[in-house]
Structure 1
């Protein structure tokens, strides 16, 4: 079994993503994805790049050339997708995003403190 196949399976399961979910995120048939994980087929390079982006690893990590990061930086895939697009709005809109995100983070922190009492 190739290092890519082993690493693909390991990274996907470590991030608690099902084969079907990853196939959906990649917009491929789940059977096609399953063949990649079993080493019966190999994805095209552009798809490998998308896999690395979704799993939040480098191509070297995905290929087994370097150790893989244990935890993804952002667990929620929808939030990750939005994060990857955050530089596209104008500066004023980015500042508004910062304020909104900050308010949600502060609210969550406050709720955490209040629930301990």
Structure 2
């Protein structure tokens, strides 16, 4: 740990001030400054506020004490934006690069297909573009197992069905409404059979609920309702956003380590 005299010397040099200049401002001799910086003597306690003010620091900083700056509280609804900025800044943090998020967002705004990526040599990666910033932790060995995951493959196959996506959009916009295959078909502009097929796929993936009711007909009537609408912004929309990035992938990097 540096002494008070050594910190005075460092701060003085950083500001391009000579011992004579500092002495003149404070009102002591250059010899006194030299003795402080060489740890021969200590400045009188009454001079500390003057020394700190002259060097543009607080008394705590003069003694090398760094107090943690209280982080600005954010509205909870702004959490996604705050975390997005934090991920971008953490990806490329350095002494002179703490505002990377603002510069990256400006760059992404100019070029929507530009992105930033960091691949760890140990495990995982971090990826960000104009819409998303995420970190992925598993190792390459663990990740390769995903290519054998039939459930994930079935989900992606289901999402390739346009009718499924039409019904999903209707469900997301009407999370409290109950509907039948025929009623949702009329809403989204597809046939009843297409709607029923899409709804049963979503039911199998726990994206909708279904119950059979006796409507006084020869057969039971199946009533559907969206279930877990929160899954859309949490998982489905990010998945589709990444799929779009991969479909239009270009080697336009604003910060990359692979």
* Structure 1 counterpart of 2:47: 47
TM-score by length of 2: 0.25
Q: 1:38 offset after TM fit, Å?
A: 0.5
Kindly indicate whether residue 13 of structure 2 is the aligned counterpart of residue 13 of structure 1: yes
Please give the residue correspondences for 1:14-93 in structure 2 after superposition, counting only pairs within 5 Å. 14-66=14-66
Please list the CA deviations of residues 21-61 of structure 1 after superposition, one character each: whole Å capped at 9, or x if unmatched: 00010110111111011000001111111000111100111
Q: Give the paired residue count.
A: 67
Where structure 1 has 5 or more consecutive residues not aligned to the other structure, the ranges are 68-117
SS in 2 for 1:41: coil
* Structure 2 counterpart of 1:79: none
TM-score by length of 1: 0.53
Q: 1:2 offset after TM fit, Å?
A: 4.5
Higher relative contact order (CA 8 A, sep 6+): 1
Question: Does the CA contact (< 8 Å) of 1:26 and 1:51 recur in 2?
Answer: yes
Question: Does the CA contact (< 8 Å) of 2:3 and 2:39 recur in 1?
Answer: no
Please list the CA deviations of residues 62-113 of structure 1 after superposition, one character each: whole Å capped at 9, or x if unmatched: 001128xxxxxxxxxxxxxxxxxxxxxxxxxxxxxxxxxxxxxxxxxxxxxx
Q: 1:7 offset after TM fit, Å?
A: 1.1
Moved >6 Å (runs of 4+):
none
Query: Pairwise CA RMSD of aligned residues?
Result: 1.6
Q: Distance in 2 between matches of 1:35 and 1:14?
A: 19
Where structure 2 has 5 or more consecutive residues not aligned to the other structure, the ranges are 68-258
Structure with the bigger percentage of strand:
2
